[in-house]
Homo-oligomer: A and B are copies of this chain.
């Protein structure tokens, strides 16, 4: 049954342990900062286009629809793209990432069951049904804190640097560790935990996947400071939209067996991590293509406000921005057009997904560069919203900020551009675009690992065989 925004909001008032800037947050739905992330998530539940009639589950969220073919993947790309546009260019992660994780768990669970005689697939499907029917908001905790990067999990001095099983009980397991970069974790109903990387046998206590409610005992969310909004009376889009990031600490957290989806089957941990990464990078290129509109549109409006829309360097930047947006879209379409079918489920083509993702990692900075170049130094030196309140200042600002449009309009446009191009938000977004869903280095490894050189090799062999010396 689809939930309403209110039902979602009530569901997250559950005693979870959330810290923000050094203080425990009593109620995330009323906290001056966290509540904005809650409201953003809740908005997803008001979108009618999100729902479809499933033969098994009735009217449920499209995010959970298991992709079986090209069309399902194309629909998923459009769903994520359009919701991101709907929410002012900001991704709304709480059902997208959870379903990315569930699809990959379904695929890998079958393989583990076949090899080890386990019954993970049934557990995963029961959990999946629970999530679908209850229309849950979910977060995925995958990135461990990692300690010394030169060492494997079991080689770390402090063994908790990767999340691990520290106790096995009749009714479940107890885990310790911490996961970072957990977007919207503090406002989700459920946290799905996945292994971060391929493991060796000595790492087997680190081969663990499971799902738990966000208010589970021992779970602690330490939220990043949202300075693009908090203390910033100049916030524009960030005044009403952002997602929170958290470091999640697992301090002796108990997980019952029916919520455990991988346990010491270390040899499949890597494939699980990789399958999730592929789904989630497909999600990434879908929402980033939509977010790109924010930058393209802002650049266009800034150019018009400055009266330079047709200047050659402005046109060149617009071309760069369009290429950024469209290469992501092209990648999503191609990934849907040539999916890999595994265990009956369609995985987006990993080569096109990674090519497109890598382009997104490497070139978002060019989009920012273009926006700043078009906007001018004004975005770094202009007055604030507060100055507009003071009438003496207001008259001057209104008068002197006019461009090819009047001063107030230009101020509004430039205050959005300041946020997108020269603010804390830009710092956060740029870092996210470079690192989220896998850094450049990770995307390169992903791409080369799956790449099939056969056509190229055959071509060269054919040519070399003709050389006579």
| Interface residues of A, Cβ cutoff 8 Å to B | 19, 21-23, 85, 88-89, 143, 145-150, 158, 160-161, 178, 180-181, 220, 222-225, 227-228, 230-234, 236-237, 239-240, 245-247, 249, 251, 293-294, 296-298, 300-301, 306-308, 312-313, 315-316, 318-319, 322-323, 326-327, 329-331, 333-334, 337-338, 351-352, 355-356, 358-359, 365, 368-369, 372-373, 375-390, 393, 396-397, 399-404, 408, 411-413, 415-416, 418, 421-424, 426-428, 430-432, 434-436, 439-441, 444, 447-448, 451, 453, 455-457, 459-460, 462-464, 466-467, 469
Instruction: Name the residue of chain B whose CB is nearest to the CB of A316.
Output: B444
The answer for the CA separation of A457 and B388 in the assembled complex, in Å, is: 26
| CB pair B352 A396 closer than 8 Å | no
The answer for the CA separation of A209 and B365 in the assembled complex, in Å, is: 39
| CB pair A397 B427 closer than 8 Å | no
| CB pair A447 B322 closer than 8 Å | yes
The answer for the CA separation of A31 and B304 in the assembled complex, in Å, is: 38
The answer for the CA separation of A251 and B337 in the assembled complex, in Å, is: 50
Q: A300-B453, A323-B358 are in contact. List 10 more A-B contacts (CB 8 A).
A: A160-B399, A220-B396, A222-B396, A236-B467, A251-B396, A323-B359, A337-B337, A365-B365, A365-B368, A372-B431
Q: 10 closest Cβ contacts across the A-B interface?
A: A231-B231, A297-B456, A312-B312, A22-B386, A422-B427, A377-B435, A380-B431, A297-B460, A245-B381, A225-B384
> How many chain copies?
4
Instruction: Name the residue of chain B whose CB is nearest to the CB of A240.
Output: B466
Given contacts A319-B448, A355-B323, A400-B178, contact A456 B383 (CB under 8 A): no
The answer for the CA separation of A26 and B406 in the assembled complex, in Å, is: 31
| CB pair A161 B402 closer than 8 Å | yes
| CB pair A447 B381 closer than 8 Å | no
CB A20 to nearest CB in B, in angstroms, measures 8
Contacts of A297 in B (CB 8 A): 453, 456-457, 459-460
The answer for the CA separation of A464 and B234 in the assembled complex, in Å, is: 13
CB A184 to nearest CB in B, in angstroms, measures 12
| CB pair B415 A467 closer than 8 Å | yes
Given contacts A22-B389, A313-B312, A352-B330, contact A245 B384 (CB under 8 A): no
Given contacts A316-B444, A318-B448, contact A381 B180 (CB under 8 A): yes
| CB pair B416 A467 closer than 8 Å | yes
| CB pair B145 A296 closer than 8 Å | no
Contacts of A316 in B (CB 8 A): 444
Which of B150, B413, B422 is the one whose CB lies under 8 Å from A307?
B150
